[in-house]
Structure 1
Amino acid sequence: MEIPLELARTLAVVVDEGTFDAASRRLQVTPSAVSQRVKGLEQQLGRVLLVRSKPVRPTEAGAVIVRLARQLALLEHDALAEFGLDAAGGDRGRPTSIPLAVNADTLGTWILPALARLSARHPVVFDLHRDDQDFTAELLESGTVMAAVTSQATPVAGCVARPLGVMRYRAVATPAFAERWFGGGATPAALSRAPVVEFDRRDDLQTGYLRFVGADASAPPRHYVPASNDFAVAIKLGLGWGLLPGFQSTDELASGELVALGGPPIDVPLHWQQWNLRSPLLEAIADEVVAEARSALRG
């Protein structure tokens, strides 16, 4: 059995765009034609490939086809580049779309300059998926992304991994907040009472710190601020204490705008994982990202 490549690409566009209508505009065909292509592929393979939700999402079988389509698009780009035709890009002259998974602090601090340099040199656009560094590898496994910044050192099946360095976090607060809540020091009892800022309900950095210093990790009132820069701003405005990387706290600690609460720093090793394909474009992206990380991160 063969998988019709046009149908596989159509499925990937539907997943990327989220709806059949949006996919039809990108492919310049009618929504009915898009639907017929997807149904035809499902009939040929004997599998349901899409969950018809809003936005649509691939089933486990559909994720396999989407991954195939993305790999083919990447290889097509590389083949065209060999002929000096890489400006033609992906479908209908579009730049090649490279989906990447990154954690919020990476996105908010060091990776964007590397991606900007890459987009200036290659006909690519980046589709960034933000998730916690402990979960970005799952997007690789599902075929949603081609590469990811992750805390997972062991390569996902079908991928290769390279170390990036370490993001070091320290517990900080404003002087006024520290005076109000930690007048006798940031003791376990005081930390169990003081409001803490967390990124979202999957953010376990502050919880890990609280447990390490012997505080009741479930006790503090919590602010949830799910954006890296806004998270830092919330701490700097005195909403609560939290763990910030050096990118967002070194200058403020030096100027006295923030104070360190003590306790151990939390080191989060980061790794770059990507599909194990011989792709010059994917390798160029990896090299640029790794170089940027190694100049910006510890270790």
Structure 2
Amino acid sequence: MAVLRMAARAKLGLPRRRGQAGKGARRFGSPSGGARQARRTLALVLLAACAAASAAGGLWALAGLEDAGRLVRHTGEVIGQADGLLTALVDAETGQRGFLLTGEERYLEPYRAALGRVGPALDRLRELVADNPAQLARLPALRAGAEARLAELAETIARRRAGDAEGALAIVRTDRGKRTMDGLRAGVAGFEAGERRLLGARIVAAGRRGALATGLVGLAGLLAAAAAVVAGLGTARAERALSEQEAHARAILDLNPQVLWTARPDGSIEDFAER
């Protein structure tokens, strides 16, 4: 009978009996199982930490992308205000010329509308470029030129109303107004060129932020997937090892019903002894 039991043990791959005669003990499980579990846990922690860091970086990049988009819109508004200033001055000239030619007040409607737009456009430009010293430095010349042009227009209109059409035209023929407008156009063009340079740099920065955000978010997803795979493999291995231990235990009970065993906290069999 003992020979049959020994043969059965050998077939099952069980260790030899230890202890006193008539009694024995067997130990299941590999001593390195805990080390493997520790390595898996460390790998999971590292993957999770890397995924969290990548996700945080992606959020930071997305926030930066939003800021870059806001700056692009800001640049567009600045250019729009500068164009609006020049358009208002041209409208004022249009109304003045029509009145000088006809003497009819209705031709002054574009002029009157423009008067209410020039000042607010300059004020809004100052607000928009308050954080840009280079652009702020251009504004005094623009304001002075706009005020000078409006003053000349007002003078010619006053002369025409007073019946001095020739005096009004004489002022026009001095080309002072033309030179003023040419200077204003050049000033607005320089102002807008500065903003367009900023716009180009901001578009490049926005593109880089977008690419970085996409890469980091994608990396976070890959790392999270890798962590899930590692966790799944560890769980599968643990379940397989537990099933193997349970199968061994059942086989032992079939051979010798008088068996005692001890179990680990995870439910796996640690020791057993025959009586």
Q: Which has the higher contact order (CA 8 A, sep 6+)?
A: 2
Q: Which has the higher helix share?
A: 2
TM-score by length of 1: 0.20
TM-score by length of 2: 0.21
Q: Which has the higher strand share?
A: 1
Q: Which has the larger radius of gyration?
A: 2
